[in-house]
Amino acid sequence: MNPTYNFTGQVALVTGASSGLGFATAKAFAEAGAKVVMSADKEETLTSAASKLAAAGHEVLAIVCDVANEADVAKLVEQTVAEFGRLDMAFNNAGIQGPHEAFTVTSAEAYDAVNNVNLRGVWACMKHELLQMEKQGSGVIVNCSSLGGLVGQAGRAAYHGTKHGVLGLTKSAGVEYAARGIRVNAVCPGVFDTPMLANMKKSKPEELNQVIAAQPIGRLGDSTELAAAVLWLCSPGASFVIGSGLSVDGGFTAQ
Protein backbone atom coordinates (compact mmCIF):
# COMPACT_ATOMS: atom_id res chain seq x y z
CA MET A 1 0.00 0.00 0.00
CA ASN A 2 1.34 3.43 -0.95
CA PRO A 3 1.64 6.12 1.74
CA THR A 4 -1.01 8.82 1.64
CA TYR A 5 -0.35 12.54 1.42
CA ASN A 6 -2.42 15.60 2.19
CA PHE A 7 -1.80 18.28 -0.44
CA THR A 8 -5.04 20.12 0.28
CA GLY A 9 -4.70 23.82 -0.56
CA GLN A 10 -1.67 23.21 -2.77
CA VAL A 11 -1.38 23.52 -6.54
CA ALA A 12 0.38 20.96 -8.72
CA LEU A 13 1.34 21.33 -12.38
CA VAL A 14 1.98 18.28 -14.58
CA THR A 15 3.21 18.44 -18.17
CA GLY A 16 2.67 15.53 -20.54
CA ALA A 17 -0.40 14.83 -18.42
CA SER A 18 -2.81 13.35 -20.96
CA SER A 19 -1.67 9.73 -20.60
CA GLY A 20 0.83 7.34 -19.07
CA LEU A 21 3.10 8.49 -16.28
CA GLY A 22 1.86 12.08 -16.47
CA PHE A 23 -1.81 11.19 -16.13
CA ALA A 24 -1.13 8.76 -13.30
CA THR A 25 0.79 11.44 -11.42
CA ALA A 26 -1.85 14.12 -12.03
CA LYS A 27 -4.46 11.69 -10.72
CA ALA A 28 -2.37 10.94 -7.64
CA PHE A 29 -1.91 14.64 -6.89
CA ALA A 30 -5.66 15.19 -7.25
CA GLU A 31 -6.51 12.26 -5.00
CA ALA A 32 -4.15 13.73 -2.40
CA GLY A 33 -6.23 16.92 -2.39
CA ALA A 34 -4.20 19.19 -4.67
CA LYS A 35 -5.63 21.44 -7.33
CA VAL A 36 -4.07 20.12 -10.52
CA VAL A 37 -3.09 21.86 -13.74
CA MET A 38 -2.77 19.32 -16.53
CA SER A 39 -0.83 20.24 -19.65
CA ALA A 40 -0.09 18.53 -22.97
CA ASP A 41 0.35 19.56 -26.58
CA LYS A 42 -2.79 17.92 -28.00
CA GLU A 43 -6.09 19.46 -26.93
CA GLU A 44 -8.38 16.51 -27.59
CA THR A 45 -6.49 13.94 -25.52
CA LEU A 46 -5.76 16.50 -22.78
CA THR A 47 -9.42 17.49 -22.48
CA SER A 48 -10.44 13.83 -22.29
CA ALA A 49 -7.90 13.11 -19.54
CA ALA A 50 -8.83 16.18 -17.51
CA SER A 51 -12.53 15.36 -17.76
CA LYS A 52 -11.89 12.01 -16.07
CA LEU A 53 -10.45 13.72 -13.00
CA ALA A 54 -13.11 16.42 -13.00
CA ALA A 55 -15.82 13.76 -13.14
CA ALA A 56 -14.33 12.23 -10.00
CA GLY A 57 -14.82 15.55 -8.21
CA HIS A 58 -11.29 16.90 -8.44
CA GLU A 59 -10.40 20.54 -9.18
CA VAL A 60 -8.55 20.44 -12.49
CA LEU A 61 -7.45 22.95 -15.10
CA ALA A 62 -6.38 21.79 -18.58
CA ILE A 63 -3.98 23.99 -20.55
CA VAL A 64 -2.59 23.13 -23.97
CA CYS A 65 1.14 23.84 -24.10
CA ASP A 66 4.07 22.97 -26.35
CA VAL A 67 6.98 22.90 -23.91
CA ALA A 68 9.43 23.46 -26.78
CA ASN A 69 7.94 26.96 -27.08
CA GLU A 70 9.04 29.11 -24.14
CA ALA A 71 6.23 31.60 -24.72
CA ASP A 72 3.73 28.74 -24.31
CA VAL A 73 5.43 27.70 -21.09
CA ALA A 74 5.37 31.23 -19.69
CA LYS A 75 1.62 31.40 -20.39
CA LEU A 76 1.12 28.01 -18.77
CA VAL A 77 2.59 29.19 -15.48
CA GLU A 78 0.84 32.56 -15.73
CA GLN A 79 -2.55 30.89 -16.26
CA THR A 80 -1.89 28.51 -13.38
CA VAL A 81 -1.23 31.38 -10.98
CA ALA A 82 -4.10 33.46 -12.38
CA GLU A 83 -6.52 30.57 -11.73
CA PHE A 84 -5.22 29.20 -8.43
CA GLY A 85 -3.04 31.97 -7.01
CA ARG A 86 0.17 29.99 -6.61
CA LEU A 87 2.27 27.03 -7.76
CA ASP A 88 3.52 24.60 -5.14
CA MET A 89 4.60 21.50 -7.08
CA ALA A 90 5.56 20.75 -10.66
CA PHE A 91 6.25 17.48 -12.44
CA ASN A 92 8.01 18.25 -15.71
CA ASN A 93 7.15 15.04 -17.50
CA ALA A 94 6.59 15.97 -21.15
CA GLY A 95 8.97 14.14 -23.46
CA ILE A 96 9.34 12.22 -26.70
CA GLN A 97 11.26 9.07 -27.60
CA GLY A 98 13.44 10.39 -30.40
CA PRO A 99 15.20 8.34 -33.09
CA HIS A 100 16.42 4.81 -32.44
CA GLU A 101 19.28 4.57 -34.90
CA ALA A 102 23.05 4.70 -35.33
CA PHE A 103 24.76 7.82 -34.00
CA THR A 104 26.05 8.83 -37.44
CA VAL A 105 22.66 8.35 -39.09
CA THR A 106 20.73 10.80 -36.89
CA SER A 107 20.05 14.07 -38.67
CA ALA A 108 20.43 17.49 -37.10
CA GLU A 109 16.66 17.96 -37.50
CA ALA A 110 15.88 14.75 -35.60
CA TYR A 111 18.40 15.62 -32.89
CA ASP A 112 16.96 19.11 -32.48
CA ALA A 113 13.40 17.77 -32.32
CA VAL A 114 14.06 15.50 -29.35
CA ASN A 115 16.34 18.05 -27.66
CA ASN A 116 13.76 20.84 -27.99
CA VAL A 117 11.16 18.86 -26.05
CA ASN A 118 13.16 16.71 -23.65
CA LEU A 119 15.85 19.17 -22.58
CA ARG A 120 15.00 22.68 -23.70
CA GLY A 121 11.38 22.05 -22.71
CA VAL A 122 12.38 21.02 -19.20
CA TRP A 123 14.67 24.06 -18.96
CA ALA A 124 11.82 26.40 -20.01
CA CYS A 125 9.40 24.83 -17.54
CA MET A 126 11.91 25.05 -14.70
CA LYS A 127 12.75 28.66 -15.53
CA HIS A 128 9.18 29.90 -15.27
CA GLU A 129 8.23 27.63 -12.36
CA LEU A 130 11.27 28.85 -10.44
CA LEU A 131 10.38 32.48 -11.12
CA GLN A 132 6.99 31.92 -9.48
CA MET A 133 8.25 29.75 -6.64
CA GLU A 134 10.96 32.28 -5.81
CA LYS A 135 8.25 34.94 -5.39
CA GLN A 136 6.46 32.61 -2.96
CA GLY A 137 9.64 31.50 -1.18
CA SER A 138 8.67 27.84 -1.56
CA GLY A 139 8.02 25.08 -4.03
CA VAL A 140 9.05 21.67 -5.29
CA ILE A 141 10.03 20.65 -8.82
CA VAL A 142 10.43 17.06 -10.01
CA ASN A 143 11.84 16.53 -13.49
CA CYS A 144 11.39 13.36 -15.49
CA SER A 145 14.73 11.98 -16.60
CA SER A 146 15.03 8.27 -17.38
CA LEU A 147 17.17 5.23 -16.84
CA GLY A 148 18.59 6.66 -20.08
CA GLY A 149 19.89 9.55 -17.98
CA LEU A 150 22.03 7.10 -16.01
CA VAL A 151 23.27 4.67 -18.67
CA GLY A 152 24.02 4.61 -22.37
CA GLN A 153 22.52 2.32 -25.00
CA ALA A 154 23.50 1.85 -28.61
CA GLY A 155 21.19 3.67 -31.00
CA ARG A 156 19.75 5.96 -28.34
CA ALA A 157 22.34 8.75 -28.22
CA ALA A 158 19.96 11.63 -28.93
CA TYR A 159 17.39 10.52 -26.36
CA HIS A 160 19.91 9.55 -23.68
CA GLY A 161 21.81 12.78 -24.21
CA THR A 162 18.70 14.78 -23.35
CA LYS A 163 17.95 12.68 -20.28
CA HIS A 164 21.51 13.06 -18.99
CA GLY A 165 21.04 16.78 -19.53
CA VAL A 166 17.87 16.79 -17.42
CA LEU A 167 19.90 15.48 -14.50
CA GLY A 168 22.44 18.25 -15.03
CA LEU A 169 19.70 20.88 -14.92
CA THR A 170 18.25 19.22 -11.82
CA LYS A 171 21.52 19.17 -9.91
CA SER A 172 22.46 22.74 -10.79
CA ALA A 173 19.05 24.17 -9.95
CA GLY A 174 18.83 22.04 -6.82
CA VAL A 175 22.04 23.58 -5.48
CA GLU A 176 21.13 27.10 -6.59
CA TYR A 177 17.66 27.20 -5.05
CA ALA A 178 17.98 24.99 -1.96
CA ALA A 179 18.56 27.95 0.36
CA ARG A 180 15.56 29.76 -1.14
CA GLY A 181 13.02 27.22 0.05
CA ILE A 182 12.73 25.41 -3.28
CA ARG A 183 13.63 21.76 -3.80
CA VAL A 184 14.49 20.37 -7.24
CA ASN A 185 14.87 16.65 -7.91
CA ALA A 186 14.32 14.16 -10.72
CA VAL A 187 12.94 10.68 -11.22
CA CYS A 188 14.61 8.20 -13.57
CA PRO A 189 11.88 5.78 -14.70
CA GLY A 190 12.71 2.41 -16.15
CA VAL A 191 10.34 0.53 -18.45
CA PHE A 192 6.70 1.12 -17.56
CA ASP A 193 3.49 -0.33 -18.93
CA THR A 194 2.27 2.83 -20.66
CA PRO A 195 0.72 3.67 -24.05
CA MET A 196 4.27 4.14 -25.38
CA LEU A 197 4.65 0.35 -25.26
CA ALA A 198 1.38 -0.32 -27.06
CA ASN A 199 3.00 -0.71 -30.48
CA MET A 200 5.67 -3.04 -29.13
CA LYS A 201 2.99 -5.19 -27.49
CA LYS A 202 1.18 -5.57 -30.79
CA SER A 203 4.01 -5.77 -33.30
CA LYS A 204 7.04 -6.99 -31.35
CA PRO A 205 5.83 -9.20 -28.46
CA GLU A 206 9.07 -11.22 -28.47
CA GLU A 207 11.12 -8.04 -28.12
CA LEU A 208 8.89 -6.93 -25.25
CA ASN A 209 9.43 -10.28 -23.53
CA GLN A 210 13.17 -9.71 -23.79
CA VAL A 211 12.77 -6.28 -22.22
CA ILE A 212 10.79 -7.76 -19.34
CA ALA A 213 13.38 -10.52 -18.87
CA ALA A 214 16.07 -7.86 -18.48
CA GLN A 215 14.31 -6.36 -15.46
CA PRO A 216 15.59 -7.72 -12.11
CA ILE A 217 12.08 -7.39 -10.70
CA GLY A 218 10.76 -9.54 -13.55
CA ARG A 219 8.00 -7.23 -14.74
CA LEU A 220 7.20 -3.81 -16.16
CA GLY A 221 6.52 -0.88 -13.86
CA ASP A 222 3.00 0.34 -13.17
CA SER A 223 2.36 4.06 -13.67
CA THR A 224 1.09 4.39 -10.11
CA GLU A 225 4.53 3.34 -8.85
CA LEU A 226 6.18 6.25 -10.61
CA ALA A 227 3.46 8.60 -9.36
CA ALA A 228 4.15 7.43 -5.81
CA ALA A 229 7.81 8.34 -6.18
CA VAL A 230 6.97 11.82 -7.50
CA LEU A 231 4.54 12.50 -4.66
CA TRP A 232 7.09 11.39 -2.09
CA LEU A 233 9.67 13.80 -3.53
CA CYS A 234 7.06 16.57 -3.29
CA SER A 235 6.16 15.69 0.29
CA PRO A 236 7.70 16.82 3.59
CA GLY A 237 9.11 13.30 3.85
CA ALA A 238 11.71 14.27 1.25
CA SER A 239 12.54 17.64 2.82
CA PHE A 240 16.30 16.92 2.86
CA VAL A 241 16.45 15.51 -0.68
CA ILE A 242 18.04 18.02 -3.08
CA GLY A 243 19.31 17.62 -6.65
CA SER A 244 18.82 13.86 -6.72
CA GLY A 245 18.00 11.55 -9.60
CA LEU A 246 15.82 8.83 -8.06
CA SER A 247 15.92 5.53 -9.95
CA VAL A 248 12.45 4.00 -10.29
CA ASP A 249 13.40 1.14 -12.56
CA GLY A 250 12.87 -2.22 -10.89
CA GLY A 251 16.61 -2.54 -10.28
CA PHE A 252 17.72 -2.19 -13.92
CA THR A 253 20.49 0.37 -13.31
CA ALA A 254 21.69 -1.51 -10.21
CA GLN A 255 22.91 -4.41 -12.37
CA angle 110, 13, 186 (to 5 degrees): 60
Q: What is the DSSP letter of 200?
A: H
**111 belongs to the catalytic site:** no
CB 224 within 8 A of CB 24: yes
Residue tagged active-site, from 5, 111, 159, 177? 159
In terms of Cβ atoms closer than 10 Å to its own Cβ (0-12, 13-18, 19+), residue 255 is: exposed
CA distance 10 to 214: 39
Reference 153, options 69, 97, 85; nearest CA is: 97
Q: What is the Cα–Cα distance from 83 to 100, expressed in whole angstroms?
A: 40
How big is the CA angle at 208 (ends 215 and 99), to the nearest 5 degrees? 100
Alpha helices in 137-234 (DSSP H): 157-177, 198-203, 205-213, 223-234
State the catalytic residues. 159
